[in-house]
Amino acid sequence: MKRLLVILFFVVLAAPALARPDPDVEALLGKMTLEEKLGQMNIFTSDWDQTGPTLRGQYQQDIRRGRVGAIFNAYTPEFTRKLQDLAVKETRLGIPLLFGYDVIHGHRTIFPIPLGEACTWDLGVIEKGARVAAVEASADGLHWTFAPMVDVARDPRWGRIAEGAGEDTWLGSQIARARVRGFQGNNLAAPDALLACVKHYAAYGAAQAGRDYHTVDISMRELWSTYLPPFQAAAEAGAATCMTSFNEIDGVPSTGNGYLINTVLRGLWGFKGFVVTDYTSIEEMIKHGFSKDAAEAGVQAALAGVDMDMQSAIFLNDLGKAVQDRRVPLAVVDDAVRRILRMKKLRGLFANPYLCSDPARAKRVLMSPENRAAARDAAKRSFVLLKNNGVLPLKPALKVALVGPLAEDRRNLIGNWSAAGDGNKAVSVREGLSARGLTLIVAKGCEIEGGDRGGFSAAVATAKKADVVVAVMGEAAAMSGEAASRSRLDLPGVQRDLLAALKATGKPLALILMNGRPLVLDWESENCDAILETWFGGTEAGNAIADVLLGDYNPAGRLVTTFPRAVGQVPIHYNMKNTGRPLDPTNKYTSKYLDVPNDPLYPFGFGLSYTTFQYTAPVLSAASLDARGALRVTATVRNIGKRDGEEVVQLYLCDRVGSVTRPVRELRGFQKIPLKTGEQRTVSFTLTAKDLAFYRRDMSFGAEPGDFDVWIAPNAEAGVPARFLLTEGVTLAPPVPKP
Ligand code: GLC
């Protein structure tokens, strides 16, 4: 409640400020030449990091000539001060630079990759992770992060599934809000604030075949129902900026899509921040075949509502002539510059351009023990126990054969998009387990990729000398993230063969996975005695894994993305449609594969514990609900195991009949609850007609009368439904604007 009041207070106060012309901004704008204005609409990367296809050597000269509004991939107090001096002291108007960076899951202290963090189902932990990232990044010279990435992703072949919150729109919207709150805090001018940038607008996760940058061709209903809500949530949470995506939607690249930016983001949602493109995505509209040349691409992007051009230099080089030729009104440029200058002022840079360039602050906060402790806490909560036949938790007296290409690795466990993170400062699994006094015998066995089996015999010999085998395997960090799609989802290289050789020793076999996407684990799920999914757990991953393997923490992570049985099932997600021929094993002519079941190996919401939870069937406070009423749904959850634990109690709904077909289940609530052994708790959710709303046949947003099923369950495939009737419909919003 307190947080809600703070947000309301901030939004109520800040929103009008954003809407009213700012006298400082107007005065400055009035002094600017057209070239200086175009300079503000331009962001270049430094040569400290490369996160896209091009670099521009003369970026420092560009700054001196007032041709740059922001720099990304530059940090530390010293370097940002040096570059800020060029802007503030050497240009005519001294307009300070914004410094941006991909602070995606931590800055120096690296947290679990976002897909892992989402598996905590703990909005407080997720917000805290963003807050720690902001405290470190802002101490290290940065004002702005290109996060949160809120792209709903349902295709694990797509490497960027690692960067988001998984397959569910409703959960992804809650997480988007938490991340914006965490990054920005409640005062954008505070020294430790970090401007958020909600990305990639929009529907980047729907790339065909899971191939990065590929075509997106989806219906308006799919766009509005699945992909836009997390962006709306982030905008409502006050995200300072938004980044357009590389992809097209239905033939129109997002960077030139006035419907997305001007009509929806600004016109419908009232977004007051500024819009930056992704890396060279204005120029890429030529390759898309949407623009005949750079000049046209610049006009299309400017008229669509883009304010800042990342790395194309097209606004800088071509927009001036477009304004002179009246292809772009000067007012469009002035509005863009106004939004950029207003955000620089809100970030406190007009008052102090060196706000974040203080070496003493950096020394105090970077990788502090408190930040590392927060990263360790988030990591252990992000892990998902997929299987355990009792081999976990490990007994400390056991002799452990620690095997696999990631057992001693540090660099990969901080994952992709780990920016300023330093793998050398991370804690490996071997170090984490050794620090707990475990007797380890270690053998790598094989590499992550490649066919070399030369290490197998030493690994098998090690296993034979031990009481239990812990195999740490998975993907390299670079096998997920940007430009990292995979056509297969099984363990790379010969890792599965090594597992088979270890299995043949007859020793208990626990598989610890490090990966940036769901994998196909059909063999592993049959042959390993335990499987712990740790994603890429960040700087403290080794210690967090030791916490869980030794039972100091009872794992409570739950999947936010479905694990398929086979890549051929993809896309597969829990909230699919029933179809007109749902699977009926007794009838040939129903929707199925000949060679694999329809259901996933591990469903959305799934995760085991070292204890066991039991659910009663849901009980309803009434058999029906009207447009103004509320319906309470309760169930009792009991810890019937021998250990204390935490359970993520999930609420799912099914609208049985609609003016358009509806998913078989939709998540509409969750509560993460601690339960001591033997303890039980009645968990209650309150539903109103608003929770039943969807984009109806006419694309209005509202609920329709009829029967609904509701579950209170441990995952998307479990539980028994209760049924209630919504007696009347409700319209919450008129039909969405047409493109
Ligand atoms: C990259 C990514 C985007 C990132 C930007 C700046 O190409 O698509 O997520 O924020 O460029 O590094």
The domains of the chain are located at 380-559, 613-733
Q: Ligand 1: does its nearest atom lie under 6 Å from the Cβ of 52?
A: yes
How far, in Å, is the centroid of ligand 1 from the Cα of 310?
9
What is the predicted pLDDT for the residue at 367? 98
Distance separating alpha carbons of residues 729 and 195, to the nearest angstrom: 40
Question: Is the N-terminal amide bond of 19 cis, ω within 30° of 0?
Answer: no
Per the listing, tokens 């008052």 go with 351
> For residue 11, what pLDDT is reported?
46
Q: Is 157 helix (H, G, I), strand (E, B) or coil?
A: coil
Cis amide bond preceding 674, omega within 30: no
Query: Which tokens hold the place of 152?
Result: 């709903």
What residues contact 637, with CB distance under 8 A and at least 6 apart?
613, 614, 615, 616, 647, 649, 673, 675, 680, 681, 683
- Ligand 1 center from residue 279 Cα (angstroms): 6
Cβ–Cβ < 8 Å for 154, 404: no
CATH of domain 613-733: 2.60.40.10
Report the alpha-carbon distance of residue 163 to residue 483 in Å, rounded: 12
Give, in order, the Cα–Cα distances in Å from 122 to each of 61, 174, 534, 553, 586.
Answer: 46, 10, 16, 16, 42
* 488 burial via Cβ count (<10 Å: 0-12, 13-18, 19+): exposed
Task: Tell whether ligand 1 has an atom less than 6 A from the beta carbon of residue 358.
Answer: no
CA 169 – CA 166 distance, rounded (Å) = 8
Asked if 145 contacts 133 with a C-beta cutoff of 8 angstroms, the reply is yes
706 CB less than 6 Å from ligand 1?
A: no
Q: Write down the number of H helices and E strands in the chain.
A: 22, 28
Minimum-distance ligand 1 atom for the alpha carbon of 102: 10
Q: Which of 201, 590, 545 is nearest to 404 (CA)?
A: 545
SS3 of 403, please? Answer: strand
The sign of the CA dihedral 484, 488, 490, 495 is negative
Cα–Cα–Cα angle for 340, 145, 343, rounded to 5 degrees: 20
Q: Whose CA is nearest to atom 8 of ligand 1?
A: 278
Residues 6+ apart with CB under 8 A from 393: 548, 549, 550, 551, 610
Residue in 71, 142, 146, 276 to alter for ligand 1 test, most ligand atoms within 8 A of Cβ: 146
Of all protein residues, the one whose alpha carbon is nearest to atom 3 of ligand 1 is 278
243's tokens: 């980044």
Residue 204 Cα to ligand 1 midpoint, Å, equals 12
Euclidean distance between CA atoms 548 and 675, whole angstroms: 17
In the reported structure, the alpha carbon of residue 149 is separated from the centroid of ligand 1 by a whole-number distance in angstroms of: 10
Q: What angle do CA 266, 269, 270 make, to 5 degrees?
A: 55
Q: What separation in Å is there between the alpha carbon of 160 and the centre of ligand 1?
A: 11
Domain 380-559 in this protein, CATH class: alpha beta
Which of 278, 309, 377, 547 is flagged as catalytic?
A: 278
How far, in Å, is the centroid of ligand 1 from the Cα of 161? Answer: 14
Whose CA is closest to atom 11 on ligand 1? 279
CA of 344 to the centre of ligand 1 (A): 21
Q: Is the CB of residue 284 less than 8 Å from the CB of residue 314?
A: no
Separation of alpha carbons 366 and 193, rounded Å: 15
Q: Is 51 in the pocket of ligand 1 (CB under 6 A)?
A: yes
Task: Kindly give the number of the ligand 1 atom that is closest to the alpha carbon of 146.
Answer: 10
Residues present in the chain in total: 739
Q: Which atom of ligand 1 is the closest one to the Cα of 199?
A: 9
CB-based contact 104:183 (threshold 8 Å): no
- Residue 672's closest CA among 152, 181, 234, 125? 125
Burial class (CB in 10 A: 0-12, 13-18, 19+), 146: buried
Cα of 278 from ligand 1 centre, angstroms: 6
Residue 19: predicted pLDDT: 59
Which one of 51, 145, 160, 275 would you pick to mutate in the ligand 1 pocket, going by the greatest count of ligand atoms within 8 A of its CB? 51
Beta carbon of 279 within 6 Å of any ligand 1 atom: yes
Task: Compute CA 280 distance to the chain's CA centroid, rounded to the nearest angstrom.
Answer: 22
Q: How far apart are CA 31 and CA 13, in angstroms?
A: 28
Query: Which of 351, 371, 406 is CA-nearest to residue 128?
Result: 371
C-alpha distance from residue 474 to each of 448, 499, 509, 549, 556 (Å) = 7, 12, 15, 17, 21
State the closest ligand 1 atom to the C-alpha of 243, by its place in the atom list counted from 1. 10
DSSP-assigned states of every residue in 482-543: TT---S--SPSTTHHHHHHHHHTTT--EEEEEE-SS----HHHHHH-SEEEE-----TTHHH
Q: Which ranges of 42-166 does DSSP label H, i.e. alpha helix? A: 59-64, 77-90, 114-118, 123-139
Q: For residues 83 and 63, is the Cβ–Cβ distance under 8 A?
A: yes
Return the pLDDT at 18: 52
**Residue 14, pLDDT score:** 47
Q: Going by DSSP bridges, is the β-strand pair 468-474/439-443 parallel, antiparallel, or unpaired?
A: unpaired
Residue nearest to atom 10 of ligand 1 (CA): 146
CA–centroid distance, residue 376 to ligand 1 (Å) = 27
Whether 613-733 and 380-559 are alike in CATH topology: the answer is no
Atom of ligand 1 nearest to the CA of 52: 7
Q: Which residue carries 């947080």 as its tokens?
A: 3
| CA distances (Å), origin 229, targets 264, 330, 362, 411 | 11, 33, 36, 35
515 alpha-carbon distance from chain centroid: 15
Residue 618 sits at φ, ψ, to 5 deg, of -70, 145
654 DSSP 8-state letter: E
Q: Which atom of ligand 1 is nearest to the CA of 51?
A: 12
Q: Compute the radius of gyration of the chain from its Cα atoms.
A: 26
Q: Is the CB of 199 under 6 A from ligand 1?
A: yes
Cis ω before 571 (30° cut-off from 0): yes
CB 350 within 8 A of CB 96: yes
739 lines ligand 1 (CB under 6 A): no
Rounded-to-5 percentages of helix, strand, coil across the chain: 35, 20, 45
Q: What do you get for the CA distance between the two ends of the chain, in Å?
A: 38
Q: Does ligand 1 lie within 6 Å of residue 278's CB atom?
A: yes
Which of 55, 102, 197, 213 maximizes ligand 1 atoms within 8 Å of its Cβ, making it the mutation to test the pocket? 102
Phi then psi for residue 282, to 5 deg, are -65, -50
140 lines ligand 1 (CB under 6 A): no
Mean pLDDT by 10 residues, the chain (739 residues): 49 53 96 98 92 84 97 97 98 98 98 98 98 98 98 98 98 98 97 98 98 98 98 98 98 98 98 98 98 98 98 98 98 98 98 97 97 98 98 96 98 94 97 96 98 98 98 98 98 98 98 98 98 98 98 98 98 98 97 98 98 98 97 98 98 98 98 98 98 98 98 98 98 97
Å from CA of 474 to ligand 1 middle: 25
Whether 49 is catalytic is no
Q: What span, in angstroms and rounded, lies between the C-alpha atoms of 613 and 719?
A: 12
**Contact at 8 Å (CB) between 460 and 505?**
yes
Structure tokens at 612: 């066991």
Distance CA 421, CA 107 (A): 6
Q: Ligand 1 in contact with 163 (CB < 6 A)? A: no
State the helix-helix crossing angle for 456-465 and 495-503, rounded to 10 degrees.
30
Quote the ligand 1 centre to 737 CA distance (angstroms). Answer: 29
**In this structure, what are the phi and psi dihedrals at residue 683, rounded to the nearest 5 degrees?**
-105, 130
Sheet containing strand 274-276, strands side by side: 197-201, 241-244, 274-276
pLDDT score for 10: 45
Measured CA angle at 478 (ends 475, 482), to 5 deg: 125
3-state secondary structure of 143: coil
56 CA to centre of ligand 1 in angstroms: 16
Q: How far is the CA of 261 from the centre of ligand 1 (A)?
A: 19
Q: Is 547 in the pocket of ligand 1 (CB under 6 A)?
A: no
Is the Cβ–Cβ distance between 7 and 308 less than 8 Å?
Answer: no
Residue that has been written with the tokens 């430094």 in this structure: 46
Task: For a ligand 1 pocket test, name from 43, 212, 279, 310 the mutation site with the most ligand atoms within 8 angstroms of its C-beta.
Answer: 279
